[in-house]
């Protein structure tokens, strides 16, 4: 039986509703699931590379913390390889998942990830990307998840040659993508959805 394509229309986009945390981070939402929330840990014992902590907060255009946001990250392992069946350049570290999810704190809008510092990535076109972490942010009032990147302040040469950063002509805007190093293995990356310090966001 055939179905008219006119009946198979795309579902309209909607903002993240009040149940996004229950569905994606049930333990954070107070539900006793008996296990950790999916994406709460990126690393396993014995993971290779430099262990680092990434913390920050999500802010709205007025500088107030967004307390119902959820943040996901994707990144390569220490050698620049992704934990993906599409990875053809080599075998990524099996003890590193490369993906994490965190619900922002209900008071401060803060998030935190324990991960490893990624290596530089060479994409399928042979273009080299500086070590970076991709962020995806969703919250009530956002119709589509926002994509951005975190770069490292101690990768000056690699950042200067990064093909994505090269597309941004405003140096002040580039600064919104560079994390601040607050300790030997700890970085701060605040995300501003709007306003004077608005973070650069990319099309998915």
pLDDT tens digit sequence for 58-68: 999 999 999 98
Read off φ and ψ for residue 202, nearest 5 degrees.
Answer: -115, 155
| Encoded tokens for 6 | 């006119």
Identify whether the C-beta of residue 104 lies closer than 8 Å to the C-beta of residue 68. Answer: yes
Query: Mean pLDDT over all residues of the chain?
Result: 89
Burial (CB count <10 Å: 0-12, 13-18, 19+), residue 174: middle
Q: Does 82 score more than 60 pLDDT?
A: yes
Say if residue 199's pLDDT is above 70.
Answer: yes
The H or E element that residue 99 is part of is: strand 99-103
The residue behind tokens 């802010």 is 59
Protein fold of 37-192: Protocatechuate 3,4-Dioxygenase, subunit A (2.60.130)
Summarize pLDDT for 86-131 with one digit per residue, the tens: 888 889 999 999 999 999 998 999 999 999 999 999 887 888 899 9
Q: Average of pLDDT values for 10-25? A: 64
Other beta carbons less than 10 A from residue 170's beta carbon: 9
Q: What is the pLDDT of residue 141?
A: 77
Cα first-last separation, the chain: 35
């Amino acid at each position: 039986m055939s179905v008219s394509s006119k009946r198979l229309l795309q579902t309209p986009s909607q903002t993240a509703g009040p149940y996004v945390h229950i569905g994606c981070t049930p333990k954070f939402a107070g539900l006793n699931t008996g296990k950790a929330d999916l994406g709460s840990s990126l690393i396993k014992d014995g993971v290779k590379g430099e262990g680092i902590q990434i913390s920050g907060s999500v802010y709205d255009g007025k500088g107030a913390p967004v307390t119902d946001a959820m943040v996901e990250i994707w990144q390569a392992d220490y050698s620049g390889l992704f934990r993906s069946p599409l990875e053809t350049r080599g075998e990524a570290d099996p003890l590193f998942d490369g993906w994490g999810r965190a619900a922002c704190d209900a008071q401060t809008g803060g998030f935190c990830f324990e991960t490893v510092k990624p290596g530089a990535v060479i994409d399928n076109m042979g273009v080299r990307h500086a070590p970076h972490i991709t962020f995806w942010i969703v919250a009530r009032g956002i119709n589509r998840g926002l994509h951005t990147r975190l770069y490292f302040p101690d990768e000056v040469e690699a950042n200067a040659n990064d093909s994505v950063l090269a597309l941004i002509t405003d140096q002040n805007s580039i600064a919104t993508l560079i994390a601040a190093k607050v300790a030997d293995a700890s970085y701060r990356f605040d995300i501003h959805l709007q306003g004077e310090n608005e973070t650069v966001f990319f099309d998915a």
